[in-house]
Structure 1
Amino acid sequence: MALWGRRDRRGDDAAGTGPAPGADGWAEVAFRRRRVRFAIDDPGDSVQKHLVRGSFYEPGLLRRHVEMVPRGTTVVDVGANVGNHCVFYALSGAGRVYPFEPNPRANLLLRRTVAANSGLDAVDLTHVDHGVGAEPAELFPHTPGRRNLGSTRLAERGEAGEAPVQVVPLDSLTLQGRVTLLKIDVEGMELAVLAGAERLVAEHRPALAIEVDDESQDAFWDWAEHCRYHVVHAVKMYRRNINYVCIPRGSGRSPAIHL
């Protein structure tokens, strides 16, 4: 169910002549026995359109992700977009969730969503403005996909007058709690994120939820072998990448790949 402001059933809206969905910039999504308000700015966006319809984006993957997160532990969400994933993690029992979203437009919507809902104290916005990479840098967000904030990539050059965003390696940050899930969705920068998280991976051995572009497949599998990770779930939901869920070897679960 999606709610877009008050609607009087006796008035024009009941006859279909009231505001179109998205008119007030909010969607409402049911989660167990509560409802969550999401700030949105484009009801046709590839993620936001699901929120408008009253459901989380990629709910099947989200359920697999939270299976890897013991209650009270920490999740790192790299490429948080408008907050779909980090809100789900927080409501599912994570003790702390660190979202990273350098796209100013998506970042603003995520912040509005966190502010609008009680019960999201687990979402820690300390590092939300940063991009994540192999080393410190200043890059510019670029969104090539029409109505797809999730297609944003970081580039070395920006438009005239555009401000760069700070990119940091995860290993340069202080993160509270035991990190049990590292989620990465960064449109081709996934190996750079992993390169900047060597210490985090070695010390915490988190489960990994990662979208890998086709051109990075060989490098990703080499990383998984080198770092001793099993792929326990893989799904090709989109033409140019595959979503993986991975666990460190020795965690007691058997690998099972489903494409």
Structure 2
Amino acid sequence: MISFIFNCIKKFYHRITMPNNDIITEFKGMKILIRNPSKSQIGKSIYKYGYWEQETTNEVLNKVKKKMCILDVGADIGYYTLLFSKLVGTHGSVYSFEPIPEAKEYLDVNIILNKVKNVKTFDYALFDQEGFSYIEDPFGKSRLNENPDINNYKSIKVHTKKFDALNISNRIDLIKIDVEGSEMNVLNGMAETIKIHHPIILLELHCELIKDNSHLPEDVIKYLNNENYTINPVDQQTINYESGNITIICT
């Protein structure tokens, strides 16, 4: 009994005291290396509460089933990749795409930490054309931009590919997309896959950043409607383009 109380106090102490460095913590029974919780919003949430984006996490827990094949487009440190990996089980698979080298390092470490065998990672960005582009402000907005603002932001050059051009023959059951304004470009690059498999799509719509890629948030909704998707907001009551980013689930 004393040991149980001590462990509870220890866990509570760790939740209220914030480390000032990268740290390995736990969520959903898995280990995850997070960025400094004192500086990273994602790191802080996972460290304090054991999750990131509660509504989206709940949607994942409800929708993902054993044996599914999932794409994680914009995987960052691998929070959702790890969650997908656990939920689909040994007979499922996850393809995880993260073009920012620093984030990809966290992703790969987290896969090793959990001895994950059903995830394959890729270090390029999914887009609507094969070639190269730049990720502007990789530690901030992290948006793809062929003509980056080099005077105000650091940029890194990354390889881009169309998903439809990849040699992946699996049936795709669910696609999670978080690409900081390149949503329409990613969807256009996997249009054939979407038509064939009609996967569940979990997408964060960046209503302002998408305009930098010559699209509007309405373009994404129109495209998904044309593909016969039922669209529901995850983190708000209605789809309001003026409220900033919107996460939608499309079935």
Which category of TM-score, normalised to the shorter sequence, fits these structures?
0.7 to 0.9
Distance 2:62 2:197 in 1: 17
Aligned to 1:205, which of 194, 198, 201? 198
Q: Is the 8 A contact 1:74 1:176 kept in 2?
A: no
Deviation string, structure 1 residues 104-154 (Cα, Å, up to 9, x no partner) = 111111111111113x212212xx20101111121122227xxxx473112
RMSD: 2.8
Match of 2:106 in 1: 109
Distance 2:35 2:222 in 1: 39
Matches within 5 A, 1:1-259: 21-23=19-21, 25-31=22-28, 34=29, 36-43=30-37, 44-53=39-48, 55-93=50-88, 95-118=92-115, 120-125=116-121, 128-143=122-137, 149=139, 151-157=141-147, 164-214=157-207, 215=211, 216-236=216-236, 239-247=243-251
Distance 2:64 2:35 in 1: 30
Distance 2:119 2:46 in 1: 19
In the superposition, the TM-score normalised over structure 1's length comes to: 0.76
Extract unaligned runs of 5+ from structure 2: 1-13
Q: Is the 8 A contact 1:70 1:180 kept in 2?
A: no
Comparing 98-107 with 174-183, greater Cα deviation is found at 174-183
Change (3 A) 1:62 1:150: farther
Q: Secondary structure at the match of 2:120?
A: coil
* Amino-acid identity (%): 23
Distance 2:88 2:20 in 1: 30
Once the two structures are TM-superposed, the CA of residue 53 in structure 1 deviates from its matched residue by 2.1
Q: Secondary structure at the match of 1:182?
A: strand
Distance 1:111 1:135 in 2: 26
**Matched positions, count:** 221
Deviation string, structure 1 residues 202-251 (Cα, Å, up to 9, x no partner) = 1111001011122532111210221111013442499422110011xxxx
In the superposition, the TM-score normalised over structure 2's length comes to: 0.78
Match of 1:13 in 2: none
Q: Is the 8 A contact 1:27 1:54 kept in 2?
A: no
Change (3 A) 1:20 1:222: closer
Q: Secondary structure at the match of 2:63?
A: coil
Query: Which one-letter code corresponds to 1:177 in the other structure?
Result: N
Distance 1:93 1:54 in 2: 24
Q: Secondary structure at the match of 2:173?
A: strand
Q: Is the 8 A contact 1:37 1:113 kept in 2?
A: yes
Change (3 A) 1:123 1:217: same
Q: Is the 8 A contact 2:23 2:34 kept in 1?
A: yes
Distance 1:150 1:90 in 2: 27
Distance 1:100 1:117 in 2: 18
Distance 1:151 1:199 in 2: 29
